[in-house]
Amino acid sequence: CLQPPPKDEL
């Protein structure tokens, strides 16, 4: 399954 999107928030 697709990797969750990278956490771009602090």
Q: Which residue has the tokens 């969750």?
A: 4
Contact pattern from residue 1 through residue 10 relative to other proteins, giving x for each residue in contact according to CB under 8 A and a dash for the rest = --xx-xxxxx
Q: Rounded to 5, what percent of the chain is helix, strand, coil?
A: 0, 0, 100
Closest approach, Cβ 8 to other proteins, in A, equals 5
d(CA 10, CA 2): 22
Closest approach, Cβ 5 to other proteins, in A, equals 8
Chain residues that interact with other proteins, rule: CB under 8 A: 3-4, 6-10
